[in-house]
Structures are given as C-alpha cells and as structure tokens.
Structure 1
C-alpha cells in the first residue's frame, strides 16, 4: 500500500496534493475491511483510487468552462485548500499542484478545445461515463472478493467384502463417481463367496456381497439379518477356445448355434469313463494325455464351484434336484471326482479366468466362469480372436446377494438396486441388472453372443443339501 501511495502521488502530482491522494487511497482501502481474501487488495485499491482521482481531475478541468464568456475571473480557488493560483486577464484558470507548478497533464487552455467539447453537456457526459466506469470496477472487484462456496460435506465411507468377480465394477471410476454423487465412498475387499460366508470376520465390514443366494442366506442366518438385496445376477458359463469347441462338437458335448451350448450329461459320461483328450476322434488340436475336465475354483471357498456342483449333482441325480441323505450319497462320488481330478484350484473365480485370458488353452482349455466376467473382459479389449463363450445345459443363475450389516451397508444395497445409473453401469460390466436393454447393447457392441432368453435354467439345492455336498467334497481333499 505504501508503494501504491508513492506511485499515485507521482502520477497526480500536477492535479492533486499528496495528502489528498493518500486520503483517497485510505478511504478506498477501508472499503475492503473484513474481506477474507487479502492477496489482491493493494492492486484493487490502487486501481479504484486511480479511477476516482482521474475522474476528480476531469471534473476540475471542466469547471471553468461554465463561467459566462464575457466574465473573466480574477482568481481561481483550487479544489484543494493547499493549492491556489491567480489568472491573468483574458486567460482561463490554471490548475496548480502543491508546489505552484503547472501540471503537464492538465495544463491546457480550454479555449484551444473545440466549442463542442467545451460545451457543458459534453463535459457532463464525460464525467458521468468516468463515474460509471469507476463504479463498475468497484462492483466487479468486490464481487470477485466474495468468499467461495463451502466445500461439499465429506463422503460416508462404507466398507464391504465382495465376490472377486465384482472387483472391476467397484473399481470403475464411473461407479465411484455415481456413488460419490450420493454421498458414499465404498471401499471393498475381494474374497471367495463361500469364504465370505464361512471364515471371514464380518465385524470389520458394513456389508457382505457374495455371488450367490446360498452364501447370502448363510450370512443372514448367522447374524440374524432379514434384509437382503439382489441388484444383479449372472448365469454360469464356460470360457473356451474355438478349436476345443470344434473338437467337443464332434464328441457330442457341444452343440453349435448362435450361442454354443455345453451338454453337461454327455460331459459327465466322458468324466465317468476317464476319457482323455487324446482319445477323442480326430483330435489334432489338443492331443494331450489329460482327463477332459472343466477348470473350476476351490469348492471349499468359492461360490462358482458350488454352482458347478449344483448343476453336476442335478444331472447326476437324473435331472432332479438333489434332496435327502440318500440322493446326496448317490451323487457325491461323481461330483467329488470333478474337483479332486483337477489338482490345485484357486479360491476365487478371478484366478482361473485370468489364466485363461493370459496363458491360453494349454493349462486351461475350459474354465468355469460367470457370464459377466467374459463380457466385462470383452469391454476392456481382453478377449482375443478364437476365445468362445459357451453356456452349460442346464445352467444356474447366480444371484449376487448383498447382506447389509448396518445402516451404511443398507444404504449401499438400496443404491445398487434402485439407482438407474448404477444399474446401467452394472450392465456395462456384464451383469444382468434391471437395465436389460443396456445389457443386450453392451454384449452386441463387443460381439459377444449371449443367451438373451435363459430357458434351460435349474434351481440349486436347498442351503442344507448344498452344504452337505460341499462338506463331503471337502473331506476328500484330506
């Protein structure tokens, strides 16, 4: 402010005394008292003060022209008490600075100005315009100094444990933004769906989101919770390669069509007879001495393996849902063989599917997956030519079930189930949500043939039956 005062005193040395300049500067400065942002106050004060001083000088220059032409003032009183001057007869009054010198900026005989400019009306117009400009500058700068709007309230952090196949959905920036717009930030940790229901400490989370109704039902029983949400679902499917699909078509396992289907009954015949890949007729694409098996996850921890067991037990039980100890005992040897013959199995469906995407058909010619995983990979450009999606016949629908553990978890369950934007984004990740048209469009846009009408879908066994079968398979692992 001191530098601004020194500068303006020099600029207006010919028109205004230093004391007056400093008074104007101080008056303007006080207008900004109480403003929270102070960085640019000196610049704004100098700008406004300069405008007012300029307008004052213009007004003083215009004042002598108002006297009648035949009256010659003998003296002229300066605007400021510190400045006075005498005028010679026949001349207009001069403006003197505090030292009595003529100002180079204002010292012009008004008689040299054209009559039109010397008119009272024109000079008044100049004064009005100058004042308006100064007022506009004052208003704009004061408005610029208004405090910014308050920041939005902090997001509510909600923690959940989810089936691994939903990890990409919850990491999508668009999903994060849609939730943030509703005031929520969701932090998730992936795990096997059966693991979520049986061994994970849920006390650290606000919601549990396994990939099946049985796992959700177990959590509800254990924690005595009646509320659940099923925001989307996904049928079980098989990811394979075109040469394998062609080979199994000749073997009567795969039926070609707009959407290839995998005959589970014919497949189980090959398993029970210990048929190897190199024993298939005309096998030149995968002549290896290995059992014909679909790669799955670990049935002790993963829901997708439990869904595989549900389908296999249904077919092995004469296309009837297993119920009762006798039926359980009859099908257990076969379903156990489906798992123990594989060797190592991963805890989550993310593991074997990533191996399918990156390694090829060498170790995993057929992988048991959720339909959503294949479509989501296609949207991210990870499906290569020759990769094929098949639907087992019959199949089951995996209903992703969210169990809220408190009010925050309930809020997330409601948002995922009812918010149109989140439902649309779920469809873009391959899940079958309420946005059926969006799901069909995503699949079509990425050239993934999907079963639009799921017909050959069976129910899974009751919770208790499924647990008995899973426990029986677990015991065979030793």
Structure 2
C-alpha cells in the first residue's frame, strides 16, 4: 500500500515550497525590488488561492503570477486547457469540471502534468464572467507596526517569518530599540504593539498604558559568550567551572572584582596578559534590558543570594555592583552591538560578553560561531521573558499569532528562543550541534519592578 499523506503533511509541504520560492524570488529581483515589495506581492498572490481545496500546484502558480507582476508582464486574458485522460474523481479527471466554461478548452498534445498546470492557471485567473476578465486583486495585507528589542530584529526580518504573517493577512513593521528605552522614552502612540525583552520592562508599559493584556511567546536565559583560552584562564582562577556547558560563578567573580584584579594579574596568564579590568561587557543599563538582567543577577548574589527588597538592601548592593558597569567605558544601547563585536572582533576587545542564549544559538545555526567560541551560563542566571504588550487590536493579533501559530513558534526556535514546547528548541540545537543546557535550573527571580528601577537609577548616578 502507498504512503498515506495527511492534510497536515500537504500543508507543511506547501509552506516549505512557498518559503523556498520566497527566498528565490527575493534574490532574483533584488536589483529592482526590495524584499518587502516581493513579499507583499507573494502574499497577495497566495490570497487568490484561499478556499481552493486542490493545492498541489499552488506554489508553482504563485511563482508564475509573482514573476509576471514583478516583471511588468500583463496576465494573459485567454487560457488554454485540456481534458485529462482519466475520469477518476480524485485524479486528473477532476480537472475537467474545473476547467469547464467560461474558460476556453482546447485539446493539445501536452504531457498530463502540463495540462493540469494550465488548467489550474485558468482556475486562478478565471472568473464567473467572461473568459477575458482577470481575477480581482487580493486585498493588501494589514500593516501592523511594533517596536521590538533589537535582539529580535533578525527574527522579524526573516523572510519565512514575513511569509508566516502574510499567510494571515498581516505585514509586521518592527522597529528595534533598547528594551528599557521602549519602556521609558519611546513614543508608543505610534505603534500597535511593544515587544521588550523582559517582564519588568513590559510591566512598566502595562502600568503606563493602563492595559492588562500581554503575551510571552518565548524566552531566553542570560548567558556569557567567551573564548576557550579565556574560559581556561578563568577556570584556573576559580571563576569558571568546566563542563560541556561551563558555569560562570557570579559569587567568585564578584570577589575577583572586589579585589581589583586585572587580567594581567591572573596567575599563569599567557593568553590574555592585558592591563585592564576583568569585566563582562554589557549594554548600557540605562537603556537596555540585557544589562538590567545582568544587574538583577549581580544584585541577587551581592545581597547574600537573596532577591533585593527595600531601600536598605538597595543601598547595600549598589556599592558592590555599580563598578561592573561604570568600569566598562562606552556601552551600546542594545544587545546587538556587543554581541556583533564578539562575533567579528575576537577576544581582544571583548573577552567576556553578556548575551541572550538565543543570540548565540542563532549565530551558531547560521555558521557564525567558530570552534574557539564558548557559551557559559552564569550561576545563577535569570530568564528573560520576551513579553509583547498589545496597544491596539491589530497588535493583539500579532501577540496571539506569535504565541499560538505552530509555524511562528518553530521559527522562533530556529532563531534560538525557547518556546513552551522544549522539543522545538532541542530540535534546533541538536541539528546544529550547539552545546546548550536542555534544562536551565539555576534561575532566580528578578527584583520587583520598582526595586529594579531604583537599582538602575542608582547605577546611572554612578556614571556621574
């Protein structure tokens, strides 16, 4: 017996073919059309097939329609079809009914597959009127604007993600910004949704906008990206515990910082004998969520492994942790900057870089991680819960789709994020052989929103 092909199998094949076609057309028309223009034309063409139960040739036909439109070639107003040689209701004979008048039917000596394709073309552009009337254009996708944490820029720019939204009649225009900027200084009145990288930043937006709806479609633990020689050096210094996924001991690290150690003062340091402070490179805590998450980790450890609560505890930890930031010099406003430097510049300027685990996994899947690069997990760490706050009903559509659409959830995992289904993330990391922790257990809570704000304000004052 032949293999049974389910409707879900057919849908998956169609989506895969359409994604591959999107990549191909974006590349073919790069000189004359932007990727967004190509994707919009594809979305409109796909919309012309809504409701058609026979889907086998949809990707082929969409590509023909799109190439005609992008090349400025008018669609034909008369179509040639042919009667099939079989009358089986589920076989090619089915096309006889589909290409009956008003379309012109002629017999031609063509292979059956070609005849069926021609027949479907007639279906696509034909109407119930005359044979010379083109089909009405599909409605343009609804444009929905959002401001998102910069670490999600690649996700929203991915043509596969663009297509997944287009299937639902949506075009998302995502503008990047630092997550704390999103919560504190960005004019949210221009957007349909805000999508910072943590629950505390989202909480501030919820308070400001007096809304309660929120979505957390994925998350990512904070991690530290380094290089094998640096990991070995810090292992000898007692800061790193080796293993398949090394552990960066935050308590030992803070002790090292308190003692004012510099890199060239570490014993047996022949790999990085530079005269500068041993600091993890972060973003600017005044604007960026990743630095705020690092502050949450450090404040917990500095407060005798307890979440900071109250003014006394805040003052107690600020003196210990402010130097983690002010000693760095210039810091980027978003996590994209320091991690990009880590990937491109080597360990010279950035021996230790705070990042989202998702950034490292995404880079590894793209082949940008070299054999000497190492991902470490702080002990403890915090989980950055990427939380979308809808500001309009349209923004709510994006939040629901990101949370419930299986294709978008798969694509989030492909970009390194952890969804509610751990199997999605494991599939990506296993396929790309990225050494990550399947279960991140040593996770602590972030301080309450007001406490974290007080700590961030205290660090900001230290810059002066």
- What TM bracket, shorter-length normalisation? 0.7 to 0.9
Partner of 1:370: 356
**Superposition pairs for residues 43-82 of structure 1, below 5 Å?**
none
Deviation for aligned residue 1:151: 2.6
Q: Is the 8 A contact 1:191 1:348 kept in 2?
A: yes
CA RMSD of aligned residues (A): 2.3
From 257, 264, 287, give the equivalent of 1:301.
Answer: 287
Question: Scaled by the length of structure 2, what TM-score is found?
Answer: 0.73
Q: Is the 8 A contact 1:427 1:435 kept in 2?
A: no
Partner of 2:181: 195
Partner of 1:325: 311
For residues 234 and 356 of structure 1, what CA distance do their matches in structure 2 show?
19
**Superposition pairs for residues 260-271 of structure 1, below 5 Å?**
260-271=246-257
Partner of 2:153: 167
Instruction: Give the secondary structure class of the aligned counterpart of 1:361.
Output: coil
- The CA deviation string for residues 97-148 of structure 1, in whole angstroms up to 9 with x for no partner, is xxxxxxxxxxxxxxxxxxxxxxxxxxxxxxxxxxxxxx9x964399783534
Shifted more, 192-201 versus 376-385: the winner is: 376-385
Distance 1:443 1:138, change over 3 A: closer
Partner of 1:249: 235
Partner of 2:272: 286
Deviation for aligned residue 1:448: 1.2
Count of aligned residue pairs for this structure pair? 351
- The CA deviation string for residues 40-82 of structure 1, in whole angstroms up to 9 with x for no partner, is 88x99xxxxxxxxxxxxxxxxxxxxxxxxxxxxxxxxxxxxxx
Q: Is the 8 A contact 1:240 1:365 kept in 2?
A: yes
Q: Is the 8 A contact 2:262 2:276 kept in 1?
A: yes
Deviation for aligned residue 1:453: 1.0
From 420, 424, 437, give the equivalent of 1:438.
Answer: 424
Partner of 2:436: 450
Instruction: Give the secondary structure class of the aligned counterpart of 1:196.
Output: helix
From 382, 389, 405, give the equivalent of 1:419.
Answer: 405
Q: Does 1:140 align with 2:106?
A: yes
Distance 1:363 1:139, change over 3 A: closer
Rg comparison, structure with higher value? 1
For residues 238 and 222 of structure 1, what CA distance do their matches in structure 2 show?
32
Deviation for aligned residue 1:357: 0.5
Distance 1:138 1:176, change over 3 A: closer
Q: Is the 8 A contact 2:77 2:133 kept in 1?
A: no
Instruction: Give the secondary structure class of the aligned counterpart of 2:106.
Output: helix
Q: Is the 8 A contact 1:424 1:435 kept in 2?
A: no
Q: Does 1:346 align with 2:332?
A: yes
Q: Does 1:274 align with 2:253?
A: no
Deviation for aligned residue 1:443: 1.0
Deviation for aligned residue 1:345: 0.4
For residues 216 and 323 of structure 1, what CA distance do their matches in structure 2 show?
20
Deviation for aligned residue 1:347: 0.1
For residues 313 and 39 of structure 1, what CA distance do their matches in structure 2 show?
68
Q: Does 1:235 align with 2:221?
A: yes
From 159, 162, 170, give the equivalent of 1:176.
Answer: 162
Q: Does 1:466 align with 2:432?
A: no
Partner of 2:47: none
Structure 2: 5+ residue runs without aligned partners? 1-73, 81-100, 108-118
Partner of 1:334: 320
From 194, 216, 238, give the equivalent of 1:208.
Answer: 194
Q: Is the 8 A contact 2:194 2:390 kept in 1?
A: yes
Distance 1:183 1:39, change over 3 A: closer
Deviation for aligned residue 1:257: 1.1
For residues 462 and 322 of structure 2, what CA distance do their matches in structure 1 show?
7
Deviation for aligned residue 1:150: 2.8
For residues 233 and 158 of structure 1, what CA distance do their matches in structure 2 show?
22
Distance 1:252 1:183, change over 3 A: same
Q: Is the 8 A contact 2:414 2:428 kept in 1?
A: yes
Question: Scaled by the length of structure 1, what TM-score is found?
Answer: 0.71
Structure 1: 5+ residue runs without aligned partners? 1-36, 45-134
